[in-house]
Amino acid sequence: MSSQAQPAVAADLRPWTDPDATPFISVKGVSKRFGTFTAVSDVSLDIYRGEVFCLLGGSGCGKTTLLRMLAGFESPTEGKILIDGKDMANVPADRRPTNMMFQSYALFPHMSVEKNVAYGLLREGKSKPEAMDRVAQMLKLVKLEPYAKRKPHQLSGGQRQRVALARALVKQPKVLLLDEPLGALDKKLREETQFELIRIQETLGVTFIVVTHDQEEAMTLATRIGVMTEGEIRQIGEPREIYESPNSRFVADFIGSVNLFEGTVASLNGAQAVVDTADLGPVTTTAPEGVSVGQTVTLAIRPERFALTRAAPAEGTPNTCRAMVRDMGYGGHISSYRLKLGNGRIVSATQSNRLRDEDPIMWDEEISITFPPPVVRVLTR
């Protein structure tokens, strides 16, 4: 998201929207099997220079395995990986233009912070003074100068994480692979470090591939997100696209919270469709291409998109129904509600608390909920 804030040619900052752009990393039909178990299944991905690409998915869905194949610790059972146009099939880990930050940090316990960070530079054949110069710069960047002489076991979790980052970055790799880089940090440090990561990424212009199972983290960091489950990538898109236009029930449900309603398409008028649902009655919405009358579809509505009012909306307003407030939770900036519809179905809704002296909607009130056609997303998968 950071890059979108900068004034520049849009296609330059979002190369994936340009069909002629050459991807920097191409993953082509890659599968990885351990025995009979398929950890990664037919994944294809294009990642562009300077991106922060987040792989997001639940535990055990194959994120680390995919990253390890990019780093060269695991070789694909099928498919191939190109980095900067070169096939990586026979390139061992120590010759790849990638560096990895490990889930466990993997700091060398017998070396000081300084030596850990210098290790990669020395292996590259840099002279000692030159390496130490670069190390000093890097430690300054991650704010660890006072700790240069300490051993890893004398550091806090957050400091170790920054050493791991510095060690992976100091060689200025073309691609930096980060496996749950912020997993061990508390919420506050995590947020600080997220911005730090973006700052560093922008300073050095490295391409980041970040693995995480924290969707908020993915949303904040990523230029694009790949949502994974059971070894497959289900959707690739910018954070907004993934949130606003999920391509399946799985993605809609996985990212943020969502209310899902089953229904059948009752009528189609150009792109406008009316979907009959048991919970909400007839719902007017925009249908995606290829939907036909009589088809079963799922409607997805985010909790914050419901408008809650005491008074019934004007006669003729589409997509509205009555509901009872069953539960209400005050969360400071927002309040969340659990609402019971006429047929007993519970839906969740949130309202932002914009005014200080509002008369809030409370328990057991009967209210109207309205969900204008654009907020309803039709899912066919």
Partner 1 sequence: MRGSWFLPAASFLGFAFLYIPILSLIIYSFNDSQLVTVWGGFSTRWYGELLNDAQILGAAWISLKVGVLSATIATVIGTLAAFVLTRFGRFRGRLLMTGMVTAPLVMPEVLIGLSLLLLFVSMELALGWPSERGMVTVVIAHSTFCAAYVAVIAQSRLRDMDDSLEEAARDLGAGPVRVFFDITLPVIAPALVSGWLLAFTLSLDDLVIASFVSGPGASTLPMVIFSKVRLGVSPDVNALATLIILIVAVAVSVAGWVLYRQSKRG
Ligand X SMILES: Nc1ncnc2c1ncn2[C@@H]1O[C@H](COP(=O)(O)OP(=O)(O)OP(=O)(O)O)[C@@H](O)[C@H]1O
Q: C-alpha distances in angstroms, 85 versus 46, 198, 321?
A: 12, 26, 56
Q: C-alpha distances in angstroms, 40 versus 37, 59, 62, 96, 231?
A: 9, 13, 6, 21, 4
Judged by CB under 8 A, the stretch of 82-90, 106-114, 207-215, 218-226 that binds partner 1 is 106-114
Q: Classify strands 366-370 and 320-330 as parallel, antiparallel or unpaired.
A: antiparallel
Residue 61 interacts with ligand X (CB under 6 A): yes or no: yes
- In the bound complex, which residue of the shown chain has the CB atom lying closest to ligand X? 64
Residue 305 interacts with ligand X (CB under 6 A): yes or no: no
Output 67 or 349, the one with its CB closest to ligand X: 67
Residue 106 interacts with partner 1 (CB under 8 A): yes or no: yes
Order of strands across the sheet that contains 366-370? 307-309, 366-370, 320-330, 334-341, 346-352
For the record, the structure tokens of 78 come out as 């099928």
Closest CB 38 distance from ligand X, rounded Å: 8
Residue 59 interacts with ligand X (CB under 6 A): yes or no: yes
Query: Which letter does DSSP use for residue 359 in this model?
Result: -
Which of ligand X, Mg ion, partner 1, none does residue 213 bind (CB under 5 to 8 Å by kind)? ligand X
Residue 152's SS3 state is helix
**Chain residues 62-121 in contact with ligand X, contact rule CB under 6 A:** 62-65
Q: C-alpha distances in angstroms, 98 versus 4, 169, 174, 219, 239?
A: 25, 10, 6, 24, 25
- Residue span 50-69 as binding mask against Mg ion, x where in contact by CB under 5 A, dash where not: --------------x-----
- Residues pairing with 338 in the sheet: 327, 348
Residue 98 interacts with partner 1 (CB under 8 A): yes or no: yes
Interface residue with partner 1 among 47, 61, 100, 300 (CB under 8 A) is: 100
| Residue of 302, 314, 326, 321 whose CA lies nearest to 376 | 302
Closest CB 42 distance from ligand X, rounded Å: 15
Chain CA centroid to CA 99, Å: 21
Output 57 or 263, the one with its CB closest to ligand X: 57
Closest CB 113 distance from partner 1, rounded Å: 14
Binding site for partner 1 (CB under 8 A): 71-73, 92-95, 98-100, 102-104, 106, 108-110, 119-120, 123-124, 153, 167-168, 171
Residues that bind ligand X (CB under 6 A): 34, 37, 39, 57, 59-65, 213
- Footprint of Mg ion on this chain (CB under 5 A)? 64
